[in-house]
Amino acid sequence: MIFLLSFTNSVTSQFVSLYKYPILRKLHYPQFSTMSTNFFKTHAFAGNPIKQKTPKPSDPFSPTSALKTLKTLLLAQTQEPHSPNFKILPFRKGRPLAGSVKESTDPNWHLGWLSFGDCKAFLEKSEINLSEDSLVYLGSDDSEGDGVYVVYWAIDVTEAGSGLVKELGGKQFCFVELRTLMVATDWENASAMGQLAIAGHARSLLEWHTVSRFCGFCGGKNILTDAGRRKQCSNELCKKKIYPRVDPVVIMLVIDKENDRVLLSRQSRFVPRMWSCLAGFMEPGESLEEAVRRETWEETGIEVGQVVYHSSQPWPVGPSSMPCQLMVGFFAYAKSLDINVDKEELEDAKWHSREDVKKAITIAEYKKAQRSAAGKVDQMCKGVERGQNLSSDFNVESGELAPMFIPGPFAIAHHLISSWVNGVEAQVKQLASSFSNL
Phi/psi at 208 (5° precision): -65, -40
By the 10 Å C-beta count (0-12 exposed, 13-18 middle, 19+ buried), 309 is classed as buried
SS3 of the chain: helix, strand, coil, percent, to 5:
35, 25, 40
- pTM of the prediction? 0.85
Nearest to 219 by CA among 202, 204, 238: 238
> Residue 352: CB partners within 8 Å, gap ≥ 6?
261, 262, 263, 264, 275, 404
* b/e 17-53 (16+ beta carbons within 10 angstroms → b): eeeeeeebeeeeeeebeebeeebebbbbbbbbebeee
> Residue 87: CB partners within 8 Å, gap ≥ 6?
113, 114, 115, 150, 151, 152, 153
247-255 vs 261-266, strand pairing mode: antiparallel
> Residue 49: CB partners within 8 Å, gap ≥ 6?
141, 143, 194, 197, 198
CA atoms within 13 A on the CB side of 224: 19
- Say how far apart CA 254 and CA 231 lie, in whole Å: 40
- Say how far apart CA 331 and CA 423 lie, in whole Å: 12
Query: What per-residue confidence (pLDDT) applies to 56?
Result: 79
Query: What per-residue confidence (pLDDT) applies to 236?
Result: 95
pLDDT averaged per 10 residues, the chain (length 438): 37 36 38 40 89 76 86 72 79 94 77 92 86 91 70 93 86 93 92 95 94 94 93 96 94 95 93 93 96 98 96 89 89 96 94 93 87 90 60 48 84 95 77 62
Query: What per-residue confidence (pLDDT) applies to 77?
Result: 61
Distance from CA of residue 92 to its chain's centroid? 19
Query: What per-residue confidence (pLDDT) applies to 437?
Result: 58
The number of beta carbons lying within 10 Å of the beta carbon of residue 139 is 23
Query: What per-residue confidence (pLDDT) applies to 402?
Result: 67
325-334 vs 304-315, strand pairing mode: antiparallel
